[in-house]
Amino acid sequence: MRHNKSGKRLGRNTPHRNAMLRNMVTSLLDHEKITTTDARAKELRKVVDRMITLGKRADLHARRQVLSVIRDQKVVAKLFDQIGPRYKDRPGGYTRIIKVGSRLGDNAPQSIIALVEEEVSSSIPAATVAAV
């Protein structure tokens, strides 16, 4: 029976799965976009959103909680200095999953998971329009 257990096992035992998700979170926050399988991307989204929410808080306890998952000091500094403030007004949904087709070797469905960028205002200043 399931007994309210959530999340996919991804064909790995618990320590291997946790290590894989830690490495993927570190890579995603460092590069802001990675390519992986659909199932991994969906599981990774949960962890990344939790880390960015902690990065928005920017207090000592949040930093220590993030350091228990992300072991790279530079990535943690980037999360609290750049990524957290970028999403301070956004209530959630910090990642986007884009399906890109199948992998050549085993035909596994691939996705790109990336941090969403802030929407750019489409209004063009009047001086720019007049100059064109």
78-90 residue pLDDT tens: 999 999 999 999 9
pLDDT at res. 5: 87
Is residue 29 within 8 A of residue 81, CB to CB? The reply is no
Measured distance CA(27)–CA(70) in Å, rounded: 10
- DSSP collapsed to 3 states, 72-101: CHHHHHHHHHHHHHHCCCCCCCCEEEEEEE
What is the overall mean pLDDT for the chain?
91
What is the domain partition of the chain in residue ranges?
14-131
Q: What is the CATH number that goes with domain 14-131?
A: 3.90.1030.10
Is residue 98 within 8 A of residue 111, CB to CB? The reply is yes
Strands (E), 2-121: 33-37, 95-102, 109-115
Closest-CA residue to 25 (of 117, 116, 113): 113
Reported confidence tier of residue 2, pLDDT bands at 50, 70, 90? confident
Evaluate the CA torsion angle 53, 58, 64, 70 in order and state its sign: positive
User: How far from the centroid of its chain's Cα atoms is residue 47's Cα?
Assistant: 7
Least confident among 86-90, 111-115, 126-130: 126-130
Reported confidence tier of residue 66, pLDDT bands at 50, 70, 90? very high
User: How far from the centroid of its chain's Cα atoms is residue 24's Cα?
Assistant: 9
Reported confidence tier of residue 121, pLDDT bands at 50, 70, 90? very low
Closest-CA residue to 44 (of 64, 22, 66): 22
